[in-house]
Amino acid sequence: MLSFPPDWTFVFQIVLFLILWTVLRRLLFEPNLAVLKSREQRTAGALKEANQIKAEAEQIGEQYRTQLAQTRGQALQHVERVYREAEEHARMLLEAARTEAAHVTASMQETLSQEVDEARRGLEARIAEFSRGIAEKLLGRPLT
């Protein structure tokens, strides 16, 4: 039973408890707390670094998407420009072909007209001869 004032064993137990507490604190509690604290700091640091890496990755991804969109836009503009140039070139070639065809047609018509005129003059010069031949065949005798 407890008596008041406590006897020397009680005081001795308190002193032993304080000594044990001090020894355990220095040898067990403080190192464990230090390990836990360093682990927490490493975890927090790793989480912070992971968040930074994630933010950088998102930023790089956004830059990639922006650059890709710009490149696609430039490629579309280039394709459109080449297409317009090709259309213009084709139009010019078609116009040149039409012009050349018109010149060839006009030249051929002129040549044909000249040949028809020459044939007509040649036939007109031989009308008397043809008339005489036809008359001789109709009459069945030579004309004098």
Q: What residues have CB less than 8 Å from 130, skipping those under 6 apart?
A: 123
Domain annotation covers residue 2: no
Token reading at 64: 């990639």
Read off the pLDDT of residues 90-116 as tens digits, 9 standing for 90 and up.
Answer: 999 999 999 999 999 999 999 999 999
Average pLDDT over residues 26-54: 92
Q: Identify whether 144 is part of a domain.
A: no
Asked if residue 28 belongs to a domain, the reply is no
66: left (phi over 0), alpha (psi -120 to 50) or beta: alpha
Task: Write out the residue range of the structural domain in which residue 94 sits.
Answer: 40-139
Counting the structural domains of the chain, the total is 1
Q: Which two tokens stand for residue 32?
A: 């464990």
Is the predicted pLDDT of residue 1 greater than 60, yes or no?
no
Which pLDDT value is given to residue 3?
63
d(CA 109, CA 105): 6
Mean pLDDT, range 9-27, rounded to an integer: 91
Q: What percent of the chain has pLDDT over 90?
A: 69
Measure the CA–CA gap between 16 and 113, rounded to whole angstroms. Answer: 140
CA distance 61 to 80: 28
The label of the residue with tokens 């044990």 reads: 20
Q: Is the pTM of this model over 0.85?
A: no
Rounded Cα distance between 127 and 135, Å, is 12
**66 inside domain:** yes
Per-residue pLDDT at 139 exceeds 80: yes
* pLDDT, position 86: 95
Is 74 inside a domain boundary? yes
